[in-house]
Amino acid sequence: MDRISAFTDLTTPGGAFRYGTNVGGVAPTPVKAEWLNLVQEELCHFILAYLPALDAEDNTQVLKAIRAAVASYAVKATSLAGYGIIDAYTKNQTDFLLSGKANNAITLAGYGIGDAYTKTATDSLLNSLHQTIQAALYALDSAKQNKNTALLSTNGWKLDSATGLLEQWGQGGVGADGVSAPIDFPTPFAEVYNCFGNKISPNATDGDGNSAGAYAVSNTQYRLFNDTVNYGVTVHWRAIGKAPGY
């Protein structure tokens, strides 16, 4: 298991997911397929440790597996009471629950018992497991919400997080026979594949072809242009490219 920062640099300093911002050109954290597969396998292995099979129709399997784990951990080794030990699990019970984590074995040779783990050591492991599960569930929930991050407005953008394809759009005004100053894209590209535009409605009385549109000047900015001599226009533009981090 690892944080999303193992697969991309577009994270918070602590390795967590972050939102993108238009101001300053901060790109959002992309959701990498490698990381999603990692979290998926962690959860599947945990479920299969306590349930017989995965079920695509059952969205409570993690909860059921946790309950099964808690129920199993609650069974104490009462047979150790004759040795004055009432806070231990038997080795068979703990080996089953911890799937062979033999490095955590505590030898109770002083009591004549060499096949048990102390309750303190086992509880510490279970607490760590619980935190890992909670973090994975939180991360999956965040990934689900941000799978296709989009700013849906007049000037906006949409990211296909599976491929890194970034689509942006907007509108702006430009005067007669003029070119606008550079304008920031709603969010920066890593690479611009295409940028184009058209004015909302042509002016048939203007005889110069009514050409108007948009073009990229960098991965972060574009310009609008208007060749119509007698009229200022509103240009609708669209740009397609690759998002940072892909």
pLDDT class of 227 with cuts at 50, 70, 90: confident
- Mean local confidence (pLDDT), 149-173: 84
For 48-90, how does the pLDDT look when each residue is reduced to its tens digit (9 = 90+)? 999 999 999 999 999 999 988 887 765 544 445 555 655 666 6
The mean pLDDT of the chain is 79
- pLDDT above 90 covers what percent of the chain? 35
Extents of the domains making up the chain: 32-145, 150-242
φ, ψ (nearest 5 deg) of residue 107: -85, 125
- DSSP conformational letter for 27: P
Instruction: Please give the CATH topology (third level) of the domain spanning 150-242.
Output: Immunoglobulin-like (2.60.40)
Q: Is the pTM of this model over 0.95?
A: no
pLDDT at 104: 40
* Whether the predicted pLDDT of 215 surpasses 90: yes
**Long-range contacts of the stretch 39-43 (C-beta < 8 A, 24+):** 39/1, 39/136, 39/139, 39/140, 39/143, 42/1, 42/132, 42/136, 43/133, 43/136, 43/137, 43/140
* 87 close to 121: Cβ distance less than 8 angstroms: no
For 84-136, how does the pLDDT look when each residue is reduced to its tens digit (9 = 90+)? 655 666 666 666 666 544 444 444 555 565 556 667 777 787 888 877 887 77
CB atoms within 10 A of CB 177: 15
* 102 close to 115: Cβ distance less than 8 angstroms: no
pLDDT at 136: 74
Q: For residues 33 and 94, what is the distance between their CA atoms, to the nearest angstrom?
A: 34
CB atoms within 10 A of CB 124: 12
pLDDT at 130: 78
Q: For residues 62 and 43, what is the distance between their CA atoms, to the nearest angstrom?
A: 7
User: First vs last Cα of the chain: how many Å apart?
Assistant: 21
Q: What is the DSSP string of 70-92?
A: HHHHT---GGGGGGT--SEEEHH
